[in-house]
Structure 1
């Protein structure tokens, strides 16, 4: 089964963690995947190798985000890469996944941290979508990775939660605006997921058990749990879903 055959996908921050799992799953479903990375070329090439070793199609795409003209640079390099692969400059699936967290509450946040988190999680996805519009055909898919932290009070990640909440708002508004083109825009909101970015929070069995008790399904999430939901939203089966934020947390803090 290759439901995404003849589709081109771009996954930002696809070198590790959730982004890597998403890239692998989309490639497994038949998509040609641009494995975007900002700085870690080794990890992005490893993701690409994992995909091609299993018969998928992928290529690494370097473009730092949060810099002047980042969207312009990214799409220029994407177009060049697709040209070299004899592919048209068309993008069927855009997954805004790249991000990171700076932990802290109201007394900890600094203007620099605030600006950086809002740029990466809200401003950058906005302009990546804006610049993608000429490349998106009728029926394309935009999927934003947000966070389950936006629906409960996580005092240790105030600015991160604010930035992800802005991404949720962007998702709803763009779904309405792009509806006439049958472009669906949805978000996926992971909860406690075992990735490199969060390993310091559950690097002992006791810490992992503590977080697990907050989930209805009684375990930590895995990147593949998120990737499967993204793949569904990217497929024809999700054609009647748009403007939604899908909670992918295993029932965290219900």
Structure 2
């Protein structure tokens, strides 16, 4: 059922993994996709191709979202290619680092916050100029922002900040009937997990973290984002959905 027919969706960090699957899921429900990437153009083209394979429409836009000039460039391309109207924003672009407190340096801390926290703020700020009243914003957070997972404390703190931003924006944008929610994934079968595939111990650990006993898939997350972007979640805002297979049970 094409519940998003006529809607325009911007997905940041859409060149692969969760971002790509979100783009495909939204397209399957009728949304026109603007897929952002930072540096992996070929991968972004593959995302656009995947969208078209399910009968959707997609364009790709490139920008470095860690600074305001990059965000300005993103929306200049968006206006040129998508007509300047936006209905759904998915703030998915992010970075993960795992340095402990004993070795982390200032640049690593600053980089984490530029990409994971400042970027969603700047993108949302510009996106709102293109939203009519109504619509949905979905921020991709992490279970790391809800629980202690050393040594990646800086990553966890940046995602906790995203959660706070989500709740604050839900209140601030409620008069415009713009709903703002977040999805906090646990371990998901993406490039991050692929680096551990040769370690049976690591894979067992990831699976054991969830009550359901498995690692999540990109589509697990995409289907939740689709729900939050659709009219079916019209009475939900300010929620942090723990998409983790029961990590905290």
Q: Structure 2 regions of 5+ residues with no counterpart?
A: none
Give yes or no for contact 1:145–1:187 (8 Å, CA) kept in 2.
yes
| Partner SS state of residue 245, structure 2 | coil
Q: Structure 1 regions of 5+ residues with no counterpart?
A: 83-87
Deviates more, 1:239-248 or 1:202-211: 202-211
Alignment root-mean-square deviation, CA: 1.1
Instruction: Name the counterpart of 1:146.
Output: 141
Deviations 1:63-117 (A, max 9, x none): 12213412211100100112xxxxx311000000011211122112110010001
Deviates more, 1:144-153 or 1:202-211: 202-211
Residues 174 and 68 (structure 1), Cα distance of their counterparts in 2 relative to 1, 3 Å cut: closer
Matches within 5 A, 1:178-217: 178-217=173-212
- Among residues 212, 237, 240, which one is paired with 1:242 in the alignment? 237
Q: In structure 2, how many angstroms separate the alpha carbons of the residues matched to 1:231 and 1:105?
A: 35
- Structure 1's consecutive aligned runs of 4 or more residues displaced over 6 angstroms after TM superposition are none
Give yes or no for contact 1:2–1:30 (8 Å, CA) kept in 2.
yes
What is the Cα deviation at residue 203 of structure 1? 3.7
Q: In structure 2, how many angstroms separate the alpha carbons of the residues matched to 1:132 and 1:214?
A: 36
TM-score by length of 2: 0.97
Instruction: Name the counterpart of 1:62.
Output: 62
Q: In structure 2, how many angstroms separate the alpha carbons of the residues matched to 1:97 and 1:71?
A: 14
Instruction: Name the counterpart of 1:114.
Output: 109
Deviations 1:7-56 (A, max 9, x none): 00000000110001100100111000011100000000001011112211
Instruction: Name the counterpart of 1:10.
Output: 10
Count matched residues: 249
TM-score by length of 1: 0.95
| Partner SS state of residue 161, structure 1 | helix
Deviates more, 1:150-159 or 1:1-10: 150-159
Deviations 1:126-165 (A, max 9, x none): 0111111111111110000000112211112110001011
